[in-house]
Amino acid sequence: MFLANSLNEFVPTSGVLEMAKILTSKNVPFVEWMLPGTQHAKGYLEIVYPTVLNFLNQYI
């Protein structure tokens, strides 16, 4: 799973960190990327897109 979140967006980072904790306990591979700023999803898509593709190529 690929997790991305801005450090100051409206979705709290606590949820992402909790998801990472659960994924770890279930041995599910993931990448967690916390980006600076306040943007959400499409706001940072251009930045994370190449890494998402690399992640998918590696795990799928």
Q: What angle do CA 49, 51, 53 make, to 5 degrees?
A: 70
Q: How confident is the model at residue 60 (pLDDT cuts 50, 70, 90)?
A: confident
What are 32's strand-pairing partners? 3
Q: How confident is the model at residue 59 (pLDDT cuts 50, 70, 90)?
A: confident
Region label for 27, one of left (φ > 0), alpha (ψ between -120 and 50) or beta (otherwise):
left
Q: How confident is the model at residue 29 (pLDDT cuts 50, 70, 90)?
A: confident
Q: What global pTM score does this model have?
A: 0.77
